[in-house]
Amino acid sequence: MSARLAVFLSSRMLRGRDGTARYLRGSVLGIALSLVPLIVVMEVSTGMIQGITARLLEVGTYHLQASLPSTTSLADMEDRAARIAAVSGVVAAIPERQGTALLVTPTAAAGVTLRCVPSNIFAADPGFRSHVSLKAGSADLSGSGTLLVSSALASSLGIKAGDKVSLLTTFGENLSGAARLTPLLVSGIYETGYQELDKTLIYGSLELASRVLSPRGSRALIGVKVRDPFGDLTGITQAVSAAAGDARVATWREIEYPRLASFAFTKAILILIMALIVVVAAVNVSSSVIMIVFERRNEIAILKSVGIAERPLSLSFLLTGFATGAIGTATGIAAGLLVSVNINEVIAGLEWLVNRVLGAISFLTTELVPSAHPLGTFTVFNSAYYLKSIPIRIDAPDVVAAGAATLLLCALASWLPASRASRTRPLSILRKV
C-alpha cells in the first residue's frame, strides 16, 4: 500500500502544472544536456582509439613481431617465416626489412622509412589489404625498381604514380659507407587513413632491400598475424619464438604500449571532465526536489496529520527525483548517440558555418580597413594528427554504464531532500497557515 501511495504522489508531482513541473523540466534538460558531451566524447574517443589501433596492428607493428639479427639473409628470413606460418593460430608470417632513407624528387626531398616486404603482400596479408587502399597507379611491387608511396608524401613532394624518384641510402657497414642514390619508379599511391603512418612510410620489395639497404644498417623482422590479436597471446608467442630460432618475439601490446597508454589516459581525462558536468546536473535535481518540498510543505503537513507514514512520503520524493533523472538520461543518451553516429557530418557542418561567418567578417574588415589581414580557416578536426575521418563505434557497455551512473547520482541527490520531507513536523507548518 505504501509503495502504491508513493507512486501516486510522485506521479502527481511529475504531472503538476505549477512551479513543480517547471523545476523538473529544468532538471530534465540539465541532465540531458550534460549527457550529450559525455556520450559523444566516449563514443568518438572509442572509435578513434579502435581505428588507430586497427591500423597499427594491421599495417604498422603486426600482431607479433619476431626481430631477427640484422645480418639474416633473405633466404633465412623466408625459411623462418615458413616455419612460423605453420604454427597453429598463425594467419600470416611476413618477412620484412626496414631502413631509413631520403626520398628525392627533382624539387624536394623527405626522410622516410623504407619497408621492404614480399611483392604479394596484398594477397598474403588480408589485414594489410583491408586497411591499405590504393589511390592511384598499381600495387605491383615485383622486381627491385618500384615503390609504393603514401598519399601524404606524394602530396608534400608533388609526385604521382608513374613518376621517377631517387632513394638516397648509405650502404656501407653501420651506415658508414658512401651514400648510394638509386633511381626508382613510383608504381602506386596508397593511403591508410592514419597520418602518423602515411606521412613517413614507403614500400618496396624484398629484392629492393638487397640493393639499397645495408644489412647492418637496417632491421630484419618477421611480422606475424594471428586469429585473435586481442586475446591471450602468451602461448602463441612462445610457439612463434620456438619456430623463429634466435629471434626476439614481442606482442603488439608491448610494442605500442606507450602510444596506447597515452590514448587511454587522454580518454579517461576527457570522460572525467565530462562526468563532472553530469554531477553538477544531478545536484540540480536535488535543488529541484528541495524546491518541491518547500512548495508542498502544506500538503505534506496535511498528509502527515491524517496519518500518512514517513516512508511513502520519503519514497514519493525519491521516485520524483529518480524519474526526472531517468527521463533526462534517456533523452541525453538518445541525443548523444545521434550526434555520435553523425559526428563527421556535424563537424563538417560546424566548420562550414563558422568559416562562412569568418569569411563574411574578413570581407567586411578588408573593405573597411584594406591593410587588415583576413581571418584564418577554422578547423575542428585536423586529420594531419589523427585519422582521416572518425570511425563510428557504439560501445554499448560504456553507454549503459554512463546511464546507470547518472541514474544513481540522481537517486542519491534526491535522497537527502526526500528524507528531510518525511521528517517534517505538521504542527509547526500548520500554525503558519
Determine the pLDDT at residue 237: 92
User: Residue 391's pLDDT band (boundaries 50, 70, 90)?
Assistant: confident
Determine the pLDDT at residue 239: 92
Taking only the tens place, the pLDDT of each residue in 280-326 is: 888 887 777 777 666 666 566 666 555 555 566 667 777 777 888 88
Q: Is the pLDDT of residue 248 over 70?
A: yes
Total-model pTM:
0.77
Q: Is the pLDDT of residue 236 over 90?
A: yes
Taking only the tens place, the pLDDT of each residue in 10-44 is: 566 656 555 566 667 777 888 888 889 899 888 88
Determine the pLDDT at residue 1: 46
Determine the pLDDT at residue 203: 93
3-state secondary structure the chain: CHHHHHHHHHHHHHCCCCHHHHHHHHHHHHHHHHHHHHHHHHHHHHHHHHHHHHHHHHHHHCCEEEEECCCCCHHHHHHHHHHHHCCCCEEEEEEEEEEEEEEECCCCEEEEEEEEECCCHHHHCHHHHHHCEEEEECCCCCCCCEEEEEHHHHHHHCCCCCCEEEEEEECCHHHCCCEEEEEEEEEEEEECCEHHHHCCEEEEEHHHHHHHCCCCCCEEEEEEEECCCCCCCHHHHHHHHHHHCCCEEEEHHHHCHHHHHHHHHHHHHHHHHHHHHHHHHHHHHHHHHHHHHHHCHHHHHHHHHCCCCHHHHHHHHHHHHHHHHHHHHHHHHHHHHHHHHCHHHHHHHHHHHHHHHHHHHHHHHHHHCCCCCCCCCCCCCCCCCCECCCCCCCCHHHHHHHHHHHHHHHHHHHHHHHHHHHCCCHHHHHCCC
% residues pLDDT > 90 (the chain): 18
